[in-house]
Amino acid sequence: MSTSKTNAMRILDGQHISYNILSYDHQDGKIDGMNVAEKIKRAPEAVFKTLVAHSKQNLFVFVIPVHKELDLKKAAKSAGEKKIEMLPVKDLQKHTGYIRGGCSPIGMKKLYPTFIDQPALELEAIVVSAGKIGIQLELNPRDLTQIIQAQFADLTHTA
């Protein structure tokens, strides 16, 4: 595994925010959140995926547990929009600088309005992508909100 610093790590280092690096083997192509949670031996409730959605005018970032689905109505309400939809994967790198499976909420090309699913507040640490497939960052959710100026919101479907 490459241990070179990702942009997200450099940003956290620059702000003196502590984090753990968790790496996993992605050669099998299993990079979806549930497989990643299993590979890094963390509960799915603590492993978060970064989703990018858009309204007519704006882009928004939503950070939710890997085992849940984003509720677009709740997401739109949180973002103060009438309607939002997922950003097509083909547009992800253009807007964020990241690719699918390696999209970190930290260090995107621009600081987009970001919302983290409310249950993260109850956790000591959450895991998000480090910005590269195969590398995850484990950090305090409050530190994450501080660095990306995020807000906590109710974003997911209730099971």
Predicted local confidence at residue 157, as pLDDT? 85
Residue 134 per-residue DSSP state: T
pLDDT score, position 159: 58
Residue 59, φ and ψ in degrees, nearest 5: -105, 150
Question: What was the pLDDT predicted at 1?
Answer: 46
| pLDDT at residue 4 in the model | 84
**pLDDT means over runs of 10, the chain (159 residues):** 81 96 95 95 97 96 97 97 96 95 96 97 97 97 96 88
Provide DSSP, 3-46.
-PPPHHHHHHHHTT---EEEE---TTS--SHHHHHHHTT--GGG
Q: Give the whole-angstrom CA distance, residue 91 versus residue 16.
A: 32
Point out which residues pair with 63 in neighbouring strands: 50, 116
Q: What pLDDT does residue 24 have?
A: 96
The secondary element (H helix, E strand) that includes residue 65 is strand 59-65
* Model pTM score: 0.95
Please give the order of strands across the beta sheet that includes 48-54. Answer: 85-86, 48-54, 59-65, 114-117, 151-153
Amino acid sitting at position 114:
T
